[in-house]
Chains A and B, each alone.
Chain A
Amino acid sequence: MSPRSATRRDATPSTTGTRTRVRPHALLPDRHSWIDIAFTLALVGVALTAFGTSFTGVGYLVVGMVGAVLAVVVTHATRAAGWPIISAVVICLVLFFLLGGPLCLRSLGDAYALPGGATLAKVADQAIFGWKDLLTTLPPIDGDGPLLVLPWMAGMLGGLVGLGLAHLPVRRAWLAALLPVLGLALVLSGAIVLGVRHPQSLLLQGSVFAGLALAWLAIRARRASATVQGGTTSYVRTGGALVMLVLAATLAYPLSAPFTRDTERAVARNWVEPPFDIGQYPSPLAGFRKYIDLGGKKNDQNVYDKTLLEIRGVPAETRVRFATMDRYDGMVWGATDDALPGPADDAFQRVSSTIDNPVDGDEVDVTITLGEGWTGVWLPTVGALQSLAFDSGDARAKAELFRYNLATSTGVVPTGMQPGDTYHFTAIEPDDELTDETVGSSELSPLPTGAAFIQGPTEKWTEGAGPDPMDRVMAAAEHLRTEGKYSDGIGRTERIYVAGHSVWRLSDEFVNAPQIVGNDEQYAATMALIANEIGVPARVVLGAVVPEGGRVTGADVSAWVELRAADGSWKTLPTEEFMSRTPPADQVPETNTPMSGTVIPPPNPIPPPSDAGEQSDADLKERKATRKDAEEDEGLIPGLPGWIAVVVTYVGGPILLVALLLGAIVALKAWRRHRRRSADSPSARFVGAWRELVDHARDLGQVVPLGPTVTRREQSVGIVSGQAGVLARRADSFVFGPTAPEPGAATTYWESIDAERRAMSQEVGRWQRVRAAISLRSLRRTPARTASAGGAGEGVDPAVAAGEGSTPATGRVARLGARVRTLADWRSRRTPD
């Protein structure tokens, strides 16, 4: 006998008049289930903390745990209902998309509302491609951003996997115990892989997880063993297993030490290349001549006397960095994505409003407004950024696209910065002063191909400077400053000193020329090459020295060199240290250089293509339009502790949504009952009353036969109620009797049905009553196969059936047509189903 039939038989009123308590499904967890649920949630919580270093705040944890709790509830409920595990997966999937918007896309304005197509698409997009954004964004990431979809998914996945595997019927005891732990270990591994190299807490993620996992493993092994072995348990074996595991855990660290380095660990971030290519933007050093004094000549691109930016928050003489160029390719010094060897934060990564950039120094709070002379993708900054916010223009879009290179302290906004744009940031100004005690780094960086020309002059200029690399660098700088001349190539006799810093320009026309002549571009480029040749890593910086008043014009722009010290910091070698300001003699030297007539204009800035992919301008504008004011959100619950506000902010929305959904279910049932009770004809009210009883039984979890070919008497067999058979007979007698029923009889019948419904509800517990009230079971329509002449089967509109005549619709197409017509005419039904 099947369990269902057994339940039905047991629930049949006995001859003694007592009624069996109806409880077809054990929804409330038993002791074992509670243990599994508790361990699952605890392990998922620990696994989620792996995101702690990736996100700011605790929003990620709240969202993840909400997902885990929902998945656990769904998994347990589907198991209690006897549904397959795939149903739990499907329900979790629906909940994932349904609540993903309000929970995770609040920053985009998708909150407190049923998700639309765009929201669902965004949730799906983040679920599929979000890991890439997470790995290519410099942590920590804003705790309210769309990337919260990842912890939301991880939490739900953890709950589903943990409890689902715990419920999996496995014959082997050890496998039954191990599976859920392994599943959650995989979730933890996934979270770690998506995390950062430096874990937030090895103790929490490793020890606590391992401890919890071992405890759960032991409990489940003992439980499964007791089941399989007929009640016998093996304490010795369990204890031995625990000892072995502890021993293995103890030996793991020293044995694995040779293969690990420091506290860093293997994470996907190490291998995932950011999809951003800084090489597509022209070197700003190559365009240096737009900052030079043309001596009154008109040139639209020249910004010598134009305001580039106005800076507040830093004193005069502060160096503002436009861009750092750390690699020479024989043509230009350019910015690169991977200047430093090994895994390091030397790539241009997306960053959020706060930047984890540990640097010692003085903190400054700077506001910059770009002036009329500024165009381009480079973002002027000071020191090492700690936080940044755009105040004007398409601020949200710029923040989304902004990329920053921690190693070179260079920022880029791929969509470009425009005159009038304002932004503010906090930064640490490190000690970058080059002193006599500064020891150069010994990390050798190979010279680029074609730059061997610098070896000879370097050897020559540093003779007698001693073996110390830094001393040799300073000697070379001194030579350049004293022997070189300065020219922007403007004067009639100076037009031979062309722009650029290619190998040809720097060798034949600069260091190997009879007279070293050039401006910041050539001097800085050459100086950096010399330093690298000597063995001190160097790079070129284009920037400006802030004048009094903070108004930076093209005249303030210069190029200097930064040298890497032995402690890994970068020291500034000011332009004045290696560049002469003495103009060349008014004499045209012998040269085979074709003399160009005018100033070679700097290369036109190439409009940077958007690398945002799906983050197109339209998308960004849409998000901007729908985004709620962050300040309003922050002030949502004033006066309450922060964590309560966070919990309420993130959990309140879903709870409200769920409450609305549940209320809608109850209201829909009440409306359905009203329609049935007030149907046009009395016989239809009888039909409706019976359906109400059937639906109530279904909501209580009873297995009632359904379908268009099932009669009331057949249904009454499945209803666990003392009066169901009598009520079915009464309905039939009134409906099919020789005389049409009176409205009064229908009212009386409805009273009987109501009384029976109450009696059925009283037979079950309070929780099951609540569950029945919000159950969707009775709202699911049963399939109609064909209509009968005189009426309709369950779920078939009698009016439609009568309209179709006595010919039943057969065949799949005909039945589908009847079904569509039924649905279309649903509102006019006389006996609402």
Chain B
Amino acid sequence: MTISHEQAEWFKSTFDQLTDNMEKAVLGKRHVVRLALTCLLSEGHILLEDFPGTGKTMLARALANTVQGSHARIQFTPDLLPSDVTGVTVYDQHKGTFEFHPGPIFHTIVLADEINRASPKTQSALLEVMEEGRVTVDGVAHPVGKPFLVIATQNPIEQAGTYRLPEAQLDRFLMKTSVGYPDRQATVELLNNAAVRDRAALVTPVITAATIAQMSGLADEVYVDPAVVGYVAELAEESRRQPHVKLGLSARGCLAFVRVAKTWAAADGRDHVVPDDIKDLAEPVLSHRVLLDAEAQFSGVDVQTVISRLLDAVAPPTDRVGA
């Protein structure tokens, strides 16, 4: 059962509608917005790594606002406790029972701001909920509901007093990208409307949670030819063979790759994935999953270079398998 052309067209128009809506708040960052939406529709999470003042929080809030759901912001600090995120069970003296008080994680869109400032223990508190969509407290599982998206941000330059995210934690994120500074045209437009204090407030909900779930279901039905699947597998294998790479693409990463490529293809109105989708998504999907060894820095090799070499080393398919 694959998605029909009509469904793909509907998916595309809805996706574009969401993108246009978010662009009211995030000017000139259509590609990043599409990546964030793709994460949302792929039931994944996104890590934004960028300098202060580039609009990371704005993006998260705009995304939260465009979906008819709740959202919360958690400012991660060294003294933040796991229970501050997941919630806590307290004793109700009137009822005589322990009652669970959900934390800020129980929202549709959760902005984990400066996630690398929290202690590893608190960071780990996010592991279960990001992977399984539920929080277990005192042996009781509490689902966070659908849709559920964690948008985490981290500052790449202020490393003092931060805790580097563990690899397992990084792998939970479907994508990692950066917003970047707005271009000149967007900056001018932003300055012209300086009176607008909160641009995210301009974004009103245009889609319900149910529709999000429906779109996620459709994205899962997008066809991926075995040739394209093989291309992803080869990229994964090649990522482990590249010089200066300590850790290549994992199986979970491959799955994420295909999943996000399906959504990306549907957002383009297609019922199938093409190799270009893989190439388009290679950097946001791979950049936090490929870990370099210590010599890479001395050799002037960064992750972007490795990904570029990777795409240069593996030829995408031109024909379908068995043709």
Contact = CB atoms under 8 A, between A and B. Distances in A.
Interface of A: 681-684, 687, 708-709, 711-714, 732-733, 735-738, 740, 784-794, 796, 798, 802, 806-808, 810, 830-831
B314 interface: yes
A681 B318 CA distance: 13
Contact of A709 (B233, B270, B271, B315): B315
Name the residue in A687, A709, A736, A831 with the highest tally of chain B Cβ atoms < 10 Å from its Cβ: A736
Nearest to A734: B320
Nearest to B221: A738
A733 B270 CA distance: 8
Contact of A792 (B225, B272, B312, B319): B319
Interface string B212-227: 0000000000010111
A735 B320 contact: yes
Name the residue in B231, B270, B313, B316 with the highest tally of chain A Cβ atoms < 10 Å from its Cβ: B316
Contacts of A788: 227, 230-231, 234, 314-317
B279 interface: yes
B237 interface: yes
Contacts of A789: 227, 230-231, 233-234, 317, 321
6 contacts: A736-B273, A789-B227, A790-B228, A791-B227, A791-B318, A831-B318
Nearest to B222: A738
A736 B314 contact: no
Contacts of B321: 789-791, 802
Contacts of A684: 319, 323
B272 A733 contact: yes
Closest 8 CB pairs of A and B: A790-B227, A789-B230, A793-B315, A791-B317, A738-B223, A708-B315, A683-B323, A790-B317
Contacts of A785: 312-313, 315
B238 A806 contact: no
Contacts of A681: 319, 323
Nearest to A712: B318
A790 B320 CA distance: 6
A736 B230 contact: no
B314 A786 contact: yes
B323 A740 contact: yes
A168 B224 CA distance: 55
B257 to A, nearest CB: 15
Name the residue in B271, B272, B320 with the highest tally of chain A Cβ atoms < 10 Å from its Cβ: B320
B230 A738 contact: no
B241 interface: yes
**From DSSP, what is the main secondary structure of chain A's interface residues?**
loop
B320 A738 contact: no
Contact of B313 (A740, A786, A831): A786
Interface in B265-323: 270-276, 279, 311-321, 323
A791 B322 CA distance: 9
Contacts of B225: 735-737, 790
Nearest to B274: A732
Nearest to A735: B320
B315 A784 contact: yes
B272 A831 contact: no
B229 interface: yes
A807 B273 CA distance: 21
Given A711-B275, A788-B227, A788-B230, A683 B319 contact: yes
A684 B317 CA distance: 12
Contacts of A713: 274, 276
A810 B312 CA distance: 12
Nearest to B232: A789
A738 B272 contact: yes
Contacts of A687: 318-319
B317 A792 contact: yes
B6 to A, nearest CB: 14
B2 interface: yes
Contacts of A791: 227, 316-321
A806 B229 CA distance: 10
B320 A796 contact: no
Contacts of A808: 234, 237-238, 313-315
B266 to A, nearest CB: 13
B315 to A, nearest CB: 3
Contacts of A806: 230, 233-234, 237
Given A736-B225, A808-B237, A792 B315 contact: yes
A790 B274 contact: no
A328 to B, nearest CB: 83
A806 B228 CA distance: 11
Nearest to A795: B315
A30 B280 CA distance: 44
Contact of A831 (B229, B238, B316, B319): B319
A736 B274 contact: yes
A684 B273 CA distance: 18
Given A788-B316, A808-B237, 8 more contacts: A709-B314, A735-B318, A737-B225, A788-B317, A790-B229, A806-B230, A808-B315, A810-B313
B225 to A, nearest CB: 5
Contacts of A709: 311-316
Nearest to A682: B323
A816 to B, nearest CB: 15
B276 A714 contact: yes
Nearest to B311: A709
A796 B319 CA distance: 11
A68 to B, nearest CB: 44
Name the residue in B233, B270, B276, B317 with the highest tally of chain A Cβ atoms < 10 Å from its Cβ: B317
B90 to A, nearest CB: 53
Nearest to B225: A736
Name the residue in A682, A791, A806, A807 with the highest tally of chain B Cβ atoms < 10 Å from its Cβ: A791
Contacts of B233: 789, 806
A424 B167 CA distance: 99
A325 B318 CA distance: 84
Contacts of B311: 709
B323 A736 contact: no
A711 B275 CA distance: 7
A682 B322 CA distance: 11
Nearest to A806: B230
A687 B321 CA distance: 13
Contacts of B229: 790
Name the residue in B228, B279, B316, B319 with the highest tally of chain A Cβ atoms < 10 Å from its Cβ: B319
B319 A807 contact: no
Contacts of B314: 709, 786, 788, 808
Contacts of A740: 320, 323
A732 B271 CA distance: 11
B221 to A, nearest CB: 10
A687 B273 CA distance: 17
Contacts of A787: 315
Nearest to A811: B241
Given A790-B231, A796-B315, A736 B272 contact: yes
A683 B271 contact: no
Contact of B318 (A733, A786, A792): A792
Given A791-B227, A810-B238, A737 B271 contact: yes
A737 B323 contact: no
Contacts of B323: 681-684, 735, 740, 798, 830
A808 B240 CA distance: 12
Contacts of A738: 2, 223, 271-272
A562 B1 CA distance: 114
B319 A798 contact: yes
A790 B241 contact: no
Contacts of B317: 736, 788-792, 798
A736 B320 contact: yes
A830 B229 CA distance: 21
A289 B130 CA distance: 121
B306 to A, nearest CB: 14
Name the residue in A709, A790, A807 with the highest tally of chain B Cβ atoms < 10 Å from its Cβ: A790
A791 B225 CA distance: 11
A281 B318 CA distance: 76
Contacts of B238: 808, 810
